[in-house]
């Protein structure tokens, strides 16, 4: 009797496993849609309450946290069934995940999506996604000390998964007063989840040979408001620090913060370098997304 029960349990387990992968001898595929609008089709290798492991049609396997899955569609040869929402997306619905205050992230705009922004009430900025992986932007940067620049940039996303993105970009900076052009190349790595985002970047100016390193991030407080830091460190000893907050909705965001400019100085060869504050001011920005 005990042997019969054991064989029955084994039969049920084996039959359940096989029937979960096949339907009438045909493989059952699942189409998953994630909160960042990406899509994966494959078979389920492993699943529990928190994670799911998927074998894609290409043969690659990926393990993802189920909280990033919006829905999944079970595909069989004779029917297609769409499950109800598995999990409400916990990833921020902030439309401006493509940038911090000024620095772009590696999370490119989707094709046809874009924004128009006004920074410091006098500096316009606009961007649009040409494809899901390629975007362009233009920015006017004005300073009260006879400095005015126009930036035109092209950025391409070269890698993305469910928690990180990598992008490369190029910038043409036009000096509107001295009529000189500079050309820069940069790279960005963005790591993120539903509440946090870390943004690391670096670039070089091919004319001045000056290098730039950026470090920033944000913390989503309640799905409507965020704390943001956005910092630039330049090879000539200058660095600019931004800190503040952002309130956002579906098509609009407003940012308010403080920006400060610092300089590494050295009075003589015998003295050590010291940091001097060159100025502190408010940062205000309004952005409309389309």
Residue pLDDT, tens place only, 112-124: 999 999 998 888 9
Cβ-contact 229, 197 below 8 angstroms: no
Task: Kindly report the CATH class assigned to 30-90.
Answer: mainly beta
- Which has more confidence, 170 or 224? 170
- Looking at residues 93-99, what average pLDDT do you find? 81
Provide the 3-class DSSP secondary structure of residue 266: coil
Question: Domain ranges in the chain?
Answer: 30-90, 114-289
What confidence category does residue 34 fall into, taking pLDDT thresholds of 50, 70 and 90? confident
Give the residue, 100 or 36, on which the prediction is more confident.
100
CA 12 from chain centre, in angstroms, equals 45
State how far the Cα of 37 lies from the Cα of 23, in Å rounded to an integer: 28
pLDDT at 225: 92
288 vs 90, higher pLDDT:
288
The band of 18, judged by pLDDT with boundaries at 50, 70 and 90, is: very low
Q: Looking at the predicted structure, is the pLDDT value of residue 226 above 60?
A: yes
Q: How many other C-beta atoms lie within 10 A of the C-beta of residue 10?
A: 10
- Residue 109 reports pLDDT greater than 60: yes
User: Given a cut of 60, is residue 23 above it in pLDDT?
Assistant: no
**Confidence at residue 268, expressed as pLDDT on a 0 to 100 scale:** 59
Q: How far is CA 205 from CA 28, 70, 233, in A?
A: 52, 42, 13
pLDDT beyond 90 at 154: yes
Closest CA to 120 of 7, 286, 288: 286
Confidence of residue 267 (pLDDT cuts 50, 70, 90): low
- Measured in whole angstroms, the distance separating CA 282 from the mean position of its chain's CA atoms is 25
What does the pLDDT read at residue 10? 44
Output the CA angle 64-68-74, nearest 5 degrees: 75
Token couple for 31 = 């189409």
CA distances from 254 to 142, 164, 247, 249 (A): 20, 25, 5, 9
The CATH number given to 114-289 is: 2.40.160.40
166 and 187 Cβ atoms separated by less than 8 Å: yes
Pairing mode of beta strands 29-34, 26-27: unpaired
pLDDT at 151 > cutoff 90: yes
* Cβ 61 vs Cβ 53: under 8 Å: yes
Predicted local confidence at residue 85, as pLDDT: 44
Residue 76, pLDDT above cutoff 80? no
134: number of Cβ within 10 Å? 16
pLDDT confidence bin for 149, thresholds 50/70/90 = confident
């Amino acid at each position: 009797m005990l042997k019969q029960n054991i064989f029955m349990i084994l039969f049920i387990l084996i039959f359940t496993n096989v029937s979960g992968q096949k339907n009438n001898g045909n493989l059952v595929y699942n189409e998953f849609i994630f909160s960042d609008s990406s899509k994966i089709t494959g078979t389920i290798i492993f699943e529990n309450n928190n994670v799911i492991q998927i074998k894609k049609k290409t043969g690659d396997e990926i393990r993802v946290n189920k909280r990033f899955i919006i829905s999944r569609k079970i595909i069989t040869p004779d029917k297609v069934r769409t499950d109800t929402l598995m999990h409400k997306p916990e990833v921020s619905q902030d439309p401006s995940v493509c940038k911090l205050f000024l620095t772009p992230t590696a999370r490119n705009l989707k094709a046809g999506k874009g924004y128009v922004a006004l920074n410091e009430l006098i500096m316009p900025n606009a961007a649009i996604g040409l494809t899901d992986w390629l975007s362009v932007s233009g920015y006017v940067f004005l300073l009260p000390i006879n400095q005015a620049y126009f930036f035109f940039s092209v950025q391409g996303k070269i890698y993305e998964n469910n928690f990180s993105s990598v992008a490369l970009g190029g910038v043409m900076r036009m000096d509107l007063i001295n009529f000189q052009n500079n050309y820069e190349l940069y790279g960005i790595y963005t790591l993120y989840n539903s509440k946090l985002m870390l943004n690391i970047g670096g670039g070089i100016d091919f004319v001045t040979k000056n290098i730039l390193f950026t470090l920033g991030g944000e913390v989503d407080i309640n799905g409507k408001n965020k704390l943001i830091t956005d910092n630039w460190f330049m090879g000539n000893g200058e660095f600019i620090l931004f800190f503040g907050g952002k309130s956002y909705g579906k098509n609009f965001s407003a940012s308010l913060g403080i920006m400060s400019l610092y300089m590494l100085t050295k009075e003589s060869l015998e003295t050590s370098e010291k940091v001097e504050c060159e100025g502190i001011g408010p940062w205000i920005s309004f952005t409309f997304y389309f």
